[in-house]
């Protein structure tokens, strides 16, 4: 049986990249748009290229998180039961999101020329705030204008929510005054719920 790493390596061949590139070109109506796969834990666009990590947050290989998302959305376990389908879903959903940025966002980002961007920290902060607002807008606009995109975006966002919540729970554990504080509901011995 192939490992998750083997599945990812096989998936990232040019055949699948071209499928996603053609999809994004069709959606954005931009034949000059390029799409690339990376393994860096992020997905983004500069307005001319879409960069996707198909294994973003390790979602495709986290069956328990995928099952939680399917349960929450009242879906069958077709995605969580097949890592190849999960990998395709993650990639397509990220591609849709970045394509919607190309359709609805202004490039270059306005925060780059904002007078409040006086330091690198302020620039990153303004960019993050703008991206949060913009993400909600582009996904709402895209879901209302294009049929069936909402299903991908909703599944992806719910999966990310469950995954980041899981990551936060792990990172919120701390050791203080001889006691372990965590965010788990069931606590044992000296573990107290926060």
Of the pLDDT bands very low, low, confident and very high (cuts 50, 70, 90), residue 174 is: very low
Closest by CA to 181, choosing from 191, 169, 171, is 191
Max Cα–Cα distance, the chain, nearest Å: 61
Domain holding 161, by residue range, is 4-193
CB 41 within 8 A of CB 53: yes
Residue 172 has pLDDT above 50, yes or no: no
pLDDT tens column, 40-75 = 999 999 999 999 999 999 999 999 999 999 999 999
The whole-angstrom separation of Cα 191 and Cα 189 is 6
Residue that wins the pLDDT comparison between 59 and 115 = 59
Report how many helices (DSSP H) and strands (DSSP E) the chain contains, helices first. Answer: 6, 6
Half-sphere exposure of 127 (CA within 13 A, CB side): 14
Cis-peptide, bond into residue 87, ω within 30° of zero: no
Half-sphere exposure of 109 (CA within 13 A, CB side): 17
Residue 32: burial class (beta carbons within 10 Å; 0-12, 13-18, 19+): exposed
Q: What is the pLDDT of residue 114?
A: 74
pTM: 0.82
DSSP 8-class letter at 39: S
| Residues whose CB is less than 8 angstroms from the CB of residue 82 and which lie 6 or more positions away in sequence, other chains included | none
Q: Can you list the positions of beta strands (E) in 97-190?
A: 174-176, 179-182
Residue 170 has pLDDT above 80, yes or no: no
Q: Which two tokens stand for residue 84?
A: 């190849």
Residue that wins the pLDDT comparison between 180 and 162 = 162
pLDDT tens column, 120-132 = 887 788 878 888 8
The whole-angstrom separation of Cα 3 and Cα 64 is 17
Q: Which two tokens stand for residue 180?
A: 């372990």
7 membership: H or E segment, kind and range: helix 4-11
Domain count, the chain: 1
For residue 106, give the 3-state DSSP assignment.
Answer: coil
Q: Which two tokens stand for residue 169?
A: 């729970």
């Amino acid at each position: 049986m192939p490992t998750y790493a083997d599945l990812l390596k096989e998936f990232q061949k040019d055949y699948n990249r071209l499928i996603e590139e053609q999809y994004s070109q069709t959606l954005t109506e931009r034949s000059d748009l390029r799409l690339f796969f990376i393994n860096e834990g992020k997905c983004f666009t500069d307005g001319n290229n879409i960069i996707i990590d198909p294994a973003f947050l390790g979602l495709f290989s986290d069956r328990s998180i995928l099952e939680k998302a399917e349960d929450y959305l009242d879906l069958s376990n077709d995605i969580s039961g097949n890592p190849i389908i999960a990998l395709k879903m993650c990639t397509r959903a990220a591609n849709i999101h970045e394509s919607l940025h190309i359709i609805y966002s202004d490039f270059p980002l306005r925060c780059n020329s904002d007078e409040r961007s006086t330091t690198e920290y302020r620039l990153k902060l303004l960019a993050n705030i703008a991206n949060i607002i913009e993400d909600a807008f582009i996904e709402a606009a895209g879901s209302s204008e294009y049929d069936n995109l909402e299903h991908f975006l909703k599944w992806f966002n719910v999966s990310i929510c469950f995954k980041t919540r899981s990551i936060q729970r792990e990172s919120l554990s701390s050791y203080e005054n001889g006691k372990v504080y965590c965010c788990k509901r069931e606590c044992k011995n000296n573990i107290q719920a926060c």
